[in-house]
Amino acid sequence: MSFKEGDYVLIVYEDRKYLRKLVKGMSLNVKEHTIQFQDIVGKGDGQKIGEFFVFSPTLEDIILLGFERKTQIVYPKDAFYIAFKLNIKSTDRVLEFGTGSGVMTVVLSLLAGEVWTYEADTKFYNNALKNWERFGLCSNVKAFNENFLSASVEDNFFDACFVDVREPWEYIEKVWRVLKDGKACAFVLPTTNQVSKLLSSMQNFFADIQVFEILLRHYKTNPERLRPQDQMVGHTAYVVFGRKRI
């Protein structure tokens, strides 16, 4: 594999990372160092070019560095664990609302047979579509520019559900109806007040209810001076999980 014009490339300089499209004539400057994009064309994955390394971006690189954010995104630390907790199989049909910037959709689409995602806000909806298109993602996704509350969906239709809206308690009954029996739903919420309100609304619809948060702590990588980084992300979201009871 070698990079060609138009490819997206992850450029690493010490601890810093940049995701760039290889457009002729462009370059990246970090401190006093410069890498010309035409010098990357034809080079292999992992190659050292001056002080830089070039790599094919992973899904996480694309999400963190390539996606335009018009909303708070679901962070990889949360997204990846949630996707697995939902137990998505390659034949599954998965529901998501709201789409937001389209991060979680990507993760779900990777595991599922198909994903149906709803976003009421047209600006967010268009941005998510653009994010996926730019990186050739989400070909198995049906996106709706619509509030899921007004969507018409059969009962017992989805194998899993992911919810990222401000007032999820308003959707509980509908989520319950469209999920297949016993299947899981996960919600992300930033505040404790929302978590409390959501938990109250779930009582008679879901069992095995769990609430958790994931903290990701990065370390400096000097082997002689191993220590956590000075700053860390203090909070992204609380995750609420439950399975449809009948």
119-178 residues in contact with a copy of itself (CB under 8 A) are none
Site for a copy of itself in 178-207 (CB under 8 A): 180-184, 190-193, 195-200, 207
Q: Which of 19, 30, 59, 65 binds a copy of itself (CB under 8 A)?
A: 59
29 near a copy of itself, judged by CB under 8 A: no
Buried-state track 20-58, b at ≥16 Cβ within 10 A, e below 16? bebeeeeebeeeeeebebeebbeeeeeeeeeebbbbebe
- Say which amino acid occupies 1: M
30-38, 47-55, 116-124, 128-136 -> range binding a copy of itself (CB under 8 A): 47-55
Site for a copy of itself in 92-121 (CB under 8 A): 107, 110-111
For residue 64, with 0-12 CB atoms within 10 Å meaning exposed, 13-18 middle and 19 or more buried, which class applies? middle
Site for a copy of itself in 75-94 (CB under 8 A): 76-77, 79-81, 83-87
Contact 3, 40 (CB under 8 A): yes
Closest approach of a copy of itself to the CB of residue 56, in Å: 6
Distance of CA 40 to the CA centre of its chain: 28
Q: Which of 27, 44, 153, 173 binds a copy of itself (CB under 8 A)?
A: 44
Closest approach of a copy of itself to the CB of residue 61, in Å: 8
Contact 108, 162 (CB under 8 A): yes
Residue placing its CB nearer to a copy of itself in the complex, 111 or 151 = 111
The phi-psi region of residue 83 (left if phi > 0; otherwise alpha if psi is between -120 and 50; otherwise beta) is alpha
Pairing label, strands 27-30, 114-118: unpaired
Closest approach of a copy of itself to the CB of residue 147, in Å: 22
Helix, strand, or coil (residue 85): helix
Residue placing its CB nearer to a copy of itself in the complex, 34 or 156 = 156
Closest approach of a copy of itself to the CB of residue 158, in Å: 13
How far from 172 is each of 58, 61, 118, 143, 162, CA to CA, in Å? 34, 33, 15, 21, 12
53 near a copy of itself, judged by CB under 8 A: yes
Closest approach of a copy of itself to the CB of residue 182, in Å: 3
| Rounded Cα–Cα distance for residues 92 and 183 (Å) | 11
Closest approach of a copy of itself to the CB of residue 239, in Å: 10
